[in-house]
Structure 1
Amino acid sequence: MRLDKFLKVSRIIKRRTVAKEVADKGRIQINGQLAKSSTSLKVGDIIKILFGNKTLEIKVLQLKDSTKKEDADKMYEIISEKRESELAKLD
């Protein structure tokens, strides 16, 4: 499954076009490498997303073409979620 579609179906990012823009700006890494929106995902991949004020790191658990809202969070597991203020304290 494509990265942008996974982010939309799992409801991490609400719109596929927004997911595509984020990926194309170099704000998403898969297993430590920069990813394009068309990058194929596999179960077990680690995705790191740099939002404006936080960094989200997740592990892919399932790949589904469509899902209900209550089942969307079963597609991934949150490894870490850091806000910008937490990141500044680490420096």
Structure 2
Amino acid sequence: MWFVDGTLIPVHDLTVGASSRNYRFSANVQVIIDADTKLVVVTARLAPGNKADTHVWRNSGLPAQCQGVMARGVGAYVNTGLMVPLAT
């Protein structure tokens, strides 16, 4: 099983970053981690930090990497093809 999430990385490169919700100049990077080995399987290219995780995920090319693997994401990834927990 793989887990998917996005994280904001502070950057100084004006061609990659953007002012984001953490009030810093950041880039959004998507990461897939293997639940068994706890190792990073793959990461996507940086996207501006003001882009939502689902937008970056859909445009990252990573969904193709998850074909045939059970992949889970947090609630932000609804309708992306990933398994997400139900909100109760």
For the criterion TM > 0.5, the same-fold answer is no
**What TM-score comes out, normalization by structure 2 length?**
0.25
Structure whose residues are more often helix by fraction: 1
- TM-score by structure 1 length? 0.24
Structure with max Cα Rg:
2
